[in-house]
């Protein structure tokens, strides 16, 4: 019997990006039935699929390796209480199925007995004899052993290991793995959720549970009204999915204007020298205040001396919104940038307080499932890195391509990250280019894109100095790329 799964679960079972399956849906090679796909169709589309090589079984077997210890188990497995609830729910479902099968079996056996009585009373009655043979053969076929559908087996296992959450009205889906709460899981999946403190004090992550069960993960101080409790409201930051499937009703941010401006006093966690003129600044927010932002946006960084603001500059975030407490920035030496001067002079150091005000900007990922092409020049890699990490969280793009131009010797200050993405992800590729002139370097990148990407319907994201962005933008437009498919950020 064919088993129905969502596209999200199908991608998990096969070990492919969800964007790859979405592309097959668009080109007609994968047909959905009310948003679901049958395992029979999947196995026909991927006849050589090796579930043992998809990474799912390895992740389960790794738990038995003591070297990974408690940390790995917490990341992969839910708590004992949640695991017990999911197993109990699946046991109830199995018991219901068995009860129905028993009733159908009794019905068929009863019909057989009635038919045999009729045959005893009317020996040789052809119609009754044919009917008796049909039922006997049908019952034998139903009870016969059939090959196991491995996709169905894996789906049943994943229902215990990983809960699936569906969001209404957007229809977005995300997994809840390990001991993550609903807010953490949603942010890691790239959803633009509403939240504030992240510890159950503000109530901004309040959602309504439409179906399924949730389990409390930590104490919270926010008080839900009796009416809200009766309607099924709960806090995402303090609950996880207790059932294998959960449906939530909530509002997501649609564009940058939905994200409020925040002011947070952060602490310098680390300052890492990446190159002679480039450092990685790591800021951490307090546990009670987390920065809500969209990938690709910028914030104002301020540092005070003797009670007066001495340095303040706008920088794009180089981190993913899924880790809202740890904020990363690539800062380059700049004689006209007061904040950078203080940083390179050593006035701003580990433990210093830096004020973050924001976010701002509309350089964010657009909704869609087209291949994504990113182009950065020097420190323009910062916002591009944020976009790439967010795109990987969404898992909706069939492919991601990065072109990074360096106009100075230390321009590719984070190339190891590009190499790591490329080695870990089949759908990611990158090219590092060097040219002392940003405009000519942009033309050089455009020629590389022309060879591989201009004939593909892609979305383009450009970040860097004005001469780089303008030159590459003009090349794209000249080549027929629609203006709506080009997003630019001038630094």
Confidence of residue 63 (pLDDT cuts 50, 70, 90): very low
Residue 466 has pLDDT above 90, yes or no: yes
Handedness of CA 219, 220, 223, 226 (dihedral sign): negative
- Give the pLDDT of residue 64: 40
Residue 73 has pLDDT above 90, yes or no: no
Distances (CA, A) of 306 to 10, 18, 341, 349, 365: 58, 52, 17, 16, 40
Least-confidence region, from 90-99, 149-158, 261-270? 149-158
- Give the pLDDT of residue 468: 98
Q: Looking at residues 129-135, what average pLDDT do you find?
A: 78
Confidence of residue 62 (pLDDT cuts 50, 70, 90): very low
Q: Look-up: residue for tokens 């076929």?
A: 141
For residue 281, what is the enclosing H or E element?
strand 278-284
Backbone dihedral angles phi then psi of residue 289, each to the nearest 5 degrees: -140, 120
Which of 126-135, 282-291, 469-478 shows the highest mean pLDDT? Answer: 469-478
Higher-confidence residue: 269 or 103? 269
Which of 129-138, 339-348, 455-464 shows the highest mean pLDDT? Answer: 339-348
Q: Which CATH class is domain 257-360?
A: mainly beta
Contact by Cβ (8 Å): 412, 378: no
Higher-confidence residue: 119 or 475? 475
Residue 282 has pLDDT above 80, yes or no: yes
* Distance from the Cα of residue 321 to its chain's centroid: 11
DSSP letter for 33, please: B
Residue 131 has pLDDT above 90, yes or no: no
Distances (CA, A) of 253 to 38, 169, 202, 261, 297: 32, 12, 18, 14, 14
Tokens of 329: 């920035």
Average pLDDT along the chain = 84
- Nearest 5°: the CA angle 282, 330, 306 is 60
Tokens of 72: 């790995």
Higher-confidence residue: 76 or 458? 458
Contact by Cβ (8 Å): 427, 399: yes
Is there a cis peptide before residue 100, judged by omega within 30 degrees of 0?
no
Q: Looking at residues 277-282, what average pLDDT do you find?
A: 96
Task: Give dist(CA 482, CA 461) in Å, integer.
Answer: 13
Q: Which CATH class is domain 372-490?
A: alpha beta
**Assigned fold of 162-252:** Ubiquitin-like (UB roll) (3.10.20)
pLDDT one-digit tens code per residue, 154-188: 666 667 778 889 999 988 888 898 888 999 999 88
Give the closest residue to 395 by CA, choosing from 8, 5, 6, 76: 8
Confidence of residue 424 (pLDDT cuts 50, 70, 90): confident
Task: Give dist(CA 253, CA 151) in Å, integer.
Answer: 35
Which of 14-23, 72-81, 165-174, 347-356 shows the highest mean pLDDT? Answer: 347-356
Backbone dihedral angles phi then psi of residue 319, each to the nearest 5 degrees: -120, 165
- Give the pLDDT of residue 239: 95
Confidence of residue 244 (pLDDT cuts 50, 70, 90): confident
- Give the pLDDT of residue 9: 73
pLDDT one-digit tens code per residue, 297-354: 999 999 987 665 677 899 999 999 988 889 999 999 999 999 999 999 999 999 999 9
Q: What percent of the chain has pLDDT over 70?
A: 85
Give the closest residue to 293 by CA, choosing from 267, 314, 262: 262
Confidence of residue 148 (pLDDT cuts 50, 70, 90): low
Higher-confidence residue: 8 or 476? 476
Task: Give the DSSP per-residue string, 398-447.
Answer: S-EEEEEEESSTT--TTHHHHHHHHHH-TTEEEEEEE-SSHHHHHHHHHH
Is there a cis peptide before residue 359, judged by omega within 30 degrees of 0?
yes
Q: Which residues lie below 8 Å from residue 436, measured CB to CB, with a gap of 6+?
A: 407, 408
Q: What percent of the chain has pLDDT over 90?
A: 46
- Give the pLDDT of residue 142: 66
Least-confidence region, from 143-147, 151-155, 398-402? 143-147
Residue 419 has pLDDT above 80, yes or no: yes
Least-confidence region, from 32-46, 260-274, 416-430, 434-448? 32-46
Burial of 415 (0-12, 13-18, 19+ CB in 10 A): middle
Task: Give dist(CA 458, CA 480) in Å, integer.
Answer: 11
Q: What are the residue ranges spanned by the domains of the chain?
A: 162-252, 257-360, 372-490
How much is the pTM?
0.75
- Give the pLDDT of residue 314: 95
Task: Give dist(CA 248, CA 168) in Å, integer.
Answer: 6
- Give the pLDDT of residue 309: 63
Q: Are strands 206-211 and 245-249 parallel, antiparallel or unpaired?
A: antiparallel
Which of 246-260, 267-281, 282-296 shows the highest mean pLDDT? Answer: 267-281
Report helix angle 381-394 to 415-424, nearest 10.
Answer: 20
- Give the pLDDT of residue 34: 66
Residue 107 has pLDDT above 60, yes or no: yes
For residue 266, what is the enclosing H or E element?
strand 262-275
Tokens of 81: 């209480």
- Give the pLDDT of residue 127: 77
Q: Looking at residues 253-275, what average pLDDT do you find?
A: 92
Residue 56 has pLDDT above 70, yes or no: no
Confidence of residue 211 (pLDDT cuts 50, 70, 90): very high
Distances (CA, A) of 179 to 84, 242, 406, 410: 14, 11, 41, 40
Q: Which residues lie below 8 Å from residue 469, measured CB to CB, with a gap of 6+?
A: 377, 442, 462, 463, 488, 489, 490
Residue 76 has pLDDT above 80, yes or no: no
């Amino acid at each position: 019997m064919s088993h129905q799964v969502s596209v999200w679960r199908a991608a998990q079972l096969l070990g492919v990006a969800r964007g790859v399956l979405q592309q097959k849906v668009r080109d007609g090679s994968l047909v959905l039935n009310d948003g679901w796909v049958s395992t029979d169709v999947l196995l026909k589309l991927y006849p050589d699929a090796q579930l043992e090589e998809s990474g799912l079984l390895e992740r389960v077997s790794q738990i038995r390796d003591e070297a990974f210890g408690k940390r790995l188990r917490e990341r992969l497995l839910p708590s004992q209480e949640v695991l017990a609830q999911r197993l109990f729910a699946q046991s109830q479902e199995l018991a219901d199925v068995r009860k129905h099968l028993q009733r159908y079996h009794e019905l068929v056996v009863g019909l057989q007995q009635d038919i045999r009585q009729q045959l005893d009373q009317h020996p040789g009655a052809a119609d009754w004899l044919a009917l008796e043979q049909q039922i006997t053969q049908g019952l034998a076929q139903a009870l016969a052993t059939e090959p196991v559908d491995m996709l169905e087996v894996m789906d049943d296992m994943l229902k215990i290991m990983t809960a699936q959450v569906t969001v209404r009205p957007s229809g977005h889906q995300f997994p809840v793995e390990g001991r993550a709460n609903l807010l953490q899981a949603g942010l890691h999946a790239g959803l633009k959720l509403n939240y504030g403190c992240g510890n159950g004090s503000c109530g901004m992550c309040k959602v309504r549970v439409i179906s399924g069960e949730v389990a409390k993960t930590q104490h919270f101080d926010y008080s839900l009204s009796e009416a809200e409790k009766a309607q099924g409201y709960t806090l995402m930051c303090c609950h996880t999915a207790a059932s294998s499937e959960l449906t939530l009703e909530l509002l997501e941010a649609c564009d940058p204007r939905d994200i409020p401006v925040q002011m947070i006093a952060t602490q310098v966690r680390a300052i890492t020298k990446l190159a002679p003129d480039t450092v990685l600044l790591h800021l951490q927010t307090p546990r009670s205040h987390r920065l809500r932002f969209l990938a690709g946006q910028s914030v104002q960084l301020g540092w005070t001396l003797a009670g007066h603001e001495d340095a303040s500059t706008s920088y794009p975030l180089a981190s993913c919104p899924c880790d809202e407490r740890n904020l990363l920035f690539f800062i380059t030496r700049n004689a006209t940038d007061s904040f950078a001067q203080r940083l390179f002079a050593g006035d701003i150091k580990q433990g210093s307080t830096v004020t973050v005000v924001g976010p701002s900007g509309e350089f964010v990922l657009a909704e869609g499932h087209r291949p994504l092409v990113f182009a950065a020049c020097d420190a323009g890699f910062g916002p591009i890195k944020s976009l790439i990490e967010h795109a990987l969280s969404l898992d909706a793009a069939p492919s991601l391509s990065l072109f990074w131009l360096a106009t100075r010797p230390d321009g590719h200050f984070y190339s190891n990250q590009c190499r790591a993405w490329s080695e870990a992800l089949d759908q990611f590729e990158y090219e590092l280019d060097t040219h002392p002139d940003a405009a000519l370097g942009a033309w050089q990148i455009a020629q590389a894109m022309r060879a591989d990407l201009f004939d593909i319907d892609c979305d383009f994201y450009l970040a860097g100095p004005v001469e780089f962005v303008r030159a590459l933008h003009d090349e794209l437009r000249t080549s027929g790329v629609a203006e709506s498919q080009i997003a630019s950020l001038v630094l």
